Structure 1
């Protein structure tokens, strides 16, 4: 029987194989059991036969916010005009002072001193020199620089870009803002223009001009990295402009200028682990420098308001211990004897909540606000003492100048 079936089996298998290949090649020829059959002559409903791809193409496109094309015509290709405008007014400052030479401990013993002709005191002294920068801001010869550049100097020499050199006199210094004003007696002085530092914005181009490492006048470029920097522990009153323009030792007191060559700030300090520039430099804003300049020239000192307290920040834990719901205000950690706070009756342990109706949110910011209040002003205070809220009035005093030891521990400049 196999003899009769085999001749017909091979044609059948071949046909099935051909049919399978045809179906794979033309799948659309297969009937769709899920497709609705439309009677002849009937209109086709678009809602029934529209595919999913057609539904997507009928939707409105999503609204995507397109950024405006980046303009590359805003900045100049060269800042030589700004440098030519500002650099002549930036000076090099060389200060020197005489210090005691280190001696052998035995030299303090009168027995050993008799064997040496040590009556001449100059044999135990040496000259210590330092360098920095400054900015001429007036035709009258006033020069702005840093306090730490000329602190303790016995002689200050100023060198201009045009080659002239002269000795300078100290008009006044303000250690707590690290600013000083010098005066030189020369004719036809180049003067820098001051800008309104309130208009400075993060991202603005900044040029630092000074005398780094004593190599001569140098210009570096960067941007304004931040404004209003404080809590750095550099000065008592801090409102720094931060920049990544390279600032190195010797740049202190130099100019930070904008692309128009106008003074933005006085370069003051750097943050560095190596002693060189690491892209974090700080400058005193031009507005503050201008204010200090006017006070030092007209009054010989900077007059600031003062409460005579030592304040401590109020943490949540401390606030809870004083019965306060929020850590608002500062703790009076100490009271200066016979100071304004002492005379008003403030005591250590009091929590100062508000001054003149303004809530205290930041101790350092509050100290700066108090400094701007004229001495003699009556100031209402709100305090908490032993869990009880109290009101009192304090007469603002004048802040005394701190001693040199305190300043040397606090200040760290370039």
Structure 2
């Protein structure tokens, strides 16, 4: 079970992990009624999905495409643990957040809105609203108490969600900026094994053939220390920086190789 946000009068947006591999779902409404729904398309990179409901005439909320500011009121709406029509309140705690260690499992948990409005299983795919009732994000994840976290929830920004949802509705797919490298953390054992002197960055494990990174001369074993003007410290940082680029854009990339600093421009592609 998860939550959703009306995108069009007969289309609901939710998280891809809510629908999984299912293509026929049941959509429950605030008035207690239900109707069949069909999953039209999903995007694993951003963890978004669009569902067509057999019921039309659904009220479409206003989406706020500019980012909220930290300290603004945030309201999370959804069905946490099956408790339908639940509203929890908090504030926007931060922007451009990423979940540490998430890159090994998914590319979706980067460039998120952070909130302390309680988000629980079942909230996924629901709306994060501002004080005027505008959608500022699609609830995505929380850090459970066993991690030591208290009130750490995350949402996909509205602008990202709308862009991907419209692409999915247009042709069933979404394109994303593409660099073409796989990276791993710059841990002390790796630094010692490879004889690296960098104090921050990520190690390039592999470079895709004919990729933007390959064309720019990036090699396996390089240490990426900066990308798009941002310092790189975790394996999630390149994903966050890449999200802010567009296909055709020339982006500066700094690597350390054999103890020497190399700066080159990478022309981003999409796929």
Q: TM-score range by the shorter chain?
A: 0.7 to 0.9
- Higher strand content, 1 or 2: 2
Partner of 1:266 in structure 2?
A: 138
What displacement does 1:354 show? 5.2
Whose RCO is larger (CA < 8 A, sep 6+)? 2
Q: Does 1:192 align with 2:61?
A: yes
Secondary structure of residue in 1 paired with 2:2: strand
| Aligned partners of 2:225 and 2:254 also within 8 Å | yes
What displacement does 1:147 show? 0.9
CA–CA separation in structure 2 for the residues paired with 1:233 and 1:380:
25
Q: Does 1:145 align with 2:14?
A: yes
Partner of 1:180 in structure 2?
A: 49
| Aligned partners of 1:252 and 1:268 also within 8 Å | yes
Q: Which residue of the other structure, out of 294, 303, 315, is the alignment partner of 2:175?
A: 303
Partner of 1:236 in structure 2?
A: 107
Secondary structure of residue in 1 paired with 2:42: strand
Q: Number of matched residues?
A: 263
> Aligned pair in 2 of structure 1 residues 138, 382: CA closer, same or farther (>3 Å)?
same
Name the TM-score, length of structure 2 as normaliser.
0.79
TM alignment of 1:1-400, pairs within 5 A: 131-139=1-9, 141-198=10-67, 200-234=68-102, 235-237=106-108, 238-273=110-145, 279-314=151-186, 318=191, 321-322=195-196, 327=199, 329-337=201-209, 339-342=211-214, 345-352=217-224, 358=229, 360-362=231-233, 364-375=236-247, 381-388=253-260, 396-399=268-271
Gap runs ≥5 in structure 2: none
Deviations 1:32-87 (A, max 9, x none): xxxxxxxxxxxxxxxxxxxxxxxxxxxxxxxxxxxxxxxxxxxxxxxxxxxxxxxx
CA–CA separation in structure 1 for the residues paired with 2:223 and 2:215:
17
CA–CA separation in structure 1 for the residues paired with 2:92 and 2:246:
33
Gap runs ≥5 in structure 1: 1-130, 400-414
CA–CA separation in structure 2 for the residues paired with 1:202 and 1:354:
26
- RMSD, aligned α-carbons: 3.4
CA–CA separation in structure 2 for the residues paired with 1:201 and 1:170:
33
CA–CA separation in structure 2 for the residues paired with 1:216 and 1:259:
21
CA–CA separation in structure 2 for the residues paired with 1:271 and 1:366:
22
Larger Rg: 1
CA–CA separation in structure 2 for the residues paired with 1:135 and 1:174:
16
What displacement does 1:242 show? 2.4
> Aligned pair in 2 of structure 1 residues 397, 278: CA closer, same or farther (>3 Å)?
same
| Aligned partners of 1:212 and 1:251 also within 8 Å | yes
> Aligned pair in 2 of structure 1 residues 386, 304: CA closer, same or farther (>3 Å)?
same
